[in-house]
């Protein structure tokens, strides 16, 4: 049963990372306006800086680096996505192994992410995020 519980936790963590991937285009659009975040427009249904999945809530944070045009592909651009587990549409109905944990991803100049900080145990993270260079 522990292996099954670990599997469930890993799949739920992956959902949060998928939410962050979905925010990449929003961040790119926001950077065109000189910011990582947007104010959004509730009258048009634009949610702005958040995406909520079943198990997690992903929120755009940060301030763009001053020298965006000079950054190397692997340099952080100043924008982050904070993924909070247990704040999705299922409420607290999330694996106890990851409930009330968070993962903060720093966006790089090339648009990919690297782990900035995490209270999620490494064994539940996707392989690409375990190797924090």
pLDDT of res. 133? 46
Q: Cα(first)–Cα(last) distance of the chain, in Å?
A: 33
Residue 62 · residue 37 · CB < 8 Å:
yes
- The CATH number of the structural domain formed by 2-126 is 3.30.700.10
Residue 112 · residue 77 · CB < 8 Å:
no
Going from the first residue of the chain to its last (133 residues), give the mean pLDDT of each consecutive group of 10, the final group possibly shorter. Answer: 94 97 93 87 71 96 94 96 96 93 97 96 92 54
């Amino acid at each position: 049963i522990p292996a099954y519980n670990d599997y469930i936790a890993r799949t739920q963590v992956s959902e949060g990372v998928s939410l962050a991937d979905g925010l990449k285009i929003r961040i790119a659009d926001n950077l065109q306006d000189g910011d990582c975040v947007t104010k959004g427009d509730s009258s048009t249904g634009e949610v702005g800086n958040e995406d909520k999945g079943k198990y997690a809530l992903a929120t755009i944070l940060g301030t763009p680096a001053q020298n965006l045009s000079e950054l190397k592909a692997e340099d952080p651009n100043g924008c982050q996505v904070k993924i909070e587990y247990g704040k999705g549409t299922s409420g607290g109905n999330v694996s106890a192994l990851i409930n009330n944990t968070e993962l903060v991803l720093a966006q790089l100049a090339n648009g990919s992410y690297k782990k900035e900080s995490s209270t999620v145990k490494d064994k539940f993270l996707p392989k690409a995020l375990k190797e924090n260079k």
